[in-house]
Amino acid sequence: MTAHELMAIDTSLNDGAVTIDAESIAYDNEEDTVHAKGDVVITFSKGFLKADSVSMNRKTEDLLAEGHVTVVSEDDLLEGEKFTFNIKSKTGVAHKGNMFLEENHFYITGSKIMKTGAATYHITDASATTCDGDVPDWRFMSRELDVTIDGYGTMKHGRFLLRDVPVFYIPFMLFPVKTSRQSGLLFPQIGYSRDKFGLDIEIPFFWAISNQVDATFYERYIEKRGFKEGVEFRYLISEDTFGTLYGDFMNDSGPALDTAEGASRNWQSHQKRWSLYLNHETTVSPSVFFRADIRKVSDQWYFKDFSSNSYYMNNYSQNEMQRFKKVSFIGDETLDSLESTVRLVKNWSQFNITGLISDTTSFTDASNDMTLQRYPEITLKGARRPLFGTLLNIEIDAAYDYYYRATGQRGHLYDIQPVFSLPWNIGDYLQVIPQIGAKATFWGRDDSSVGDEKHDNRQLYTIGITATTEAYRIFDVGAERIEKIRHGIRPEVTYTRYHFLTTFPSFAWYVFIKSPGALKM
């Protein structure tokens, strides 16, 4: 065989091509067997296998992998020291195996993990948990465990452990291992804390109502607090309209004595605890977008008490790439406020207008009466563009706010700021942009406070300059969909000087400009 043939062999099997890459490959013509050693990677339909060494019989389709074996099939993972497998029957054995099911976030380990069919496994000396880490908070262990993917698992002669401490014996248990969208029980969540909750068990039930709507019911028992019921509804009306609605309720029986951030509690009787969350998005047209994010809780202690096994922590997302996982805040004791917003956005080629209603709940004050709310805020932004076809550019920002709070100053605020600029290129590498702008602010109060001005205004103008340059390089990728990538670095320095024509009197809900000059990089 040639060197190229030794380094990559495409083997035609029942389910399509199997590609073998390794540091060295030998082929036994009499046995029709491929022997690969050194960083072996075998790629097959919807997955791959990695190992130190692999032998594969092309007639029987039997495969033996040894040394740091990893098998990835779609999102599921199987690891072991030694792995025998038949590609045709999809059966095999992993010795000292570890298995991870992505859809359920489900870990299984065993001295032997036997794949008895396309979706069935038999595990001996098994351990099963949904917890991350080398020492999970809880797990089930048993002599025998049978698992059917997208079905159920059965455990015989099992025991439940908190950390490494056995708690009770389980002669037999049936549990769900569902990966597709179908109604049924989901895997339970189990925890224990000596001081806070005691034994904590949650059993979710998933209901596939239709192709566009589903619901998950959360029944949770907390030994030291009582029952906590929750429900999540997800809906997909169209590709442009979808959302998630979640709520929970608990008649909390746990006494509590706390002091934090100037607030205190001394609960000796039952307390009604609840939370409500809604994320809804509708793209009305390519230029019109609507979004609602409603986030409410019963009290400022909610996230302090229920940060473990929390719906909000489990669905937290930094980038909101997943359609039904868009909790943008970290719901634990560090959260100092919770904001609900409803916004409608309209875009044009050069302008954008946004209408916003914002309601904020402060967790750092004993009362929320002095927290400023925006009911509503309307902003208009005009992108930088040439003025009447000249070299002079103009951009504009304008805003209207009605600031409301139950106690203290409240009222209307109007703000407009046009900015004129003239880009000036110095050679091929430097651009300097001098700019001048004006800013006018008007306000009117409608609260009942006496002794202060009810109406006033402020005007100022700004003079500034921006210097910028760019260094870039274009890389040839040669991929099927991407031919080239442009990588650039664009440093920018801006200095702005403020000149006040009038000043503001006492005005508690406006951000003052404290410095006459500002440098931004």
d(CA 99, CA 117): 15
CA dist 212 and 315 (Å) reads: 20
b/e burial code for range 56-72 (CB count within 10 A of at least 16 → b): bbbeebbbbbbeebbbb
The owner of tokens 């008649």 is 251
DSSP secondary structure string, 374-405?
EEEEEEEEEEEEESTTSS-EEEEEEEEEEEE-
pTM here is 0.72
Q: Which residues, including other chains, have CB under 8 Å from residue 28's CB and lie 6 or more apart?
A: 34, 35
Instruction: Residue 62: name the closest of 97, 126, 6, 18 by CA.
Output: 18
> Which residues contact residue 437 at a Cβ distance below 8 angstroms, ignoring those fewer than 6 apart?
417, 418, 419, 420, 461, 462, 464
Give the pLDDT means over successive 10-residue stretches in the chain (521 positions): 39 60 89 90 83 90 91 79 85 89 82 87 90 83 88 86 84 77 80 85 91 96 94 96 98 82 79 97 97 96 90 90 92 93 97 97 88 95 93 95 90 94 90 93 82 78 91 79 83 86 59 60 60
The per-residue pLDDT for 258 is: 79
- Domain limits, the chain: 373-521
H or E element, residue 304 = helix 302-305
pLDDT at 161: 86
Predicted confidence at residue 504, as pLDDT, reads 57
Residue 305 in 3-state DSSP?
helix
What does the pLDDT read at residue 336?
Answer: 92
Q: Using a CB cutoff of 8 Å and minimum separation of 24, what contacts does 365-369 make?
A: 365/261, 365/262, 365/263, 366/262, 366/263, 367/407, 369/405, 369/406, 369/407, 369/408
Q: What are phi and psi of 335, to 5 degrees?
A: -70, 120
Peptide bond before residue 386 is cis, with ω within 30 degrees of 0:
no
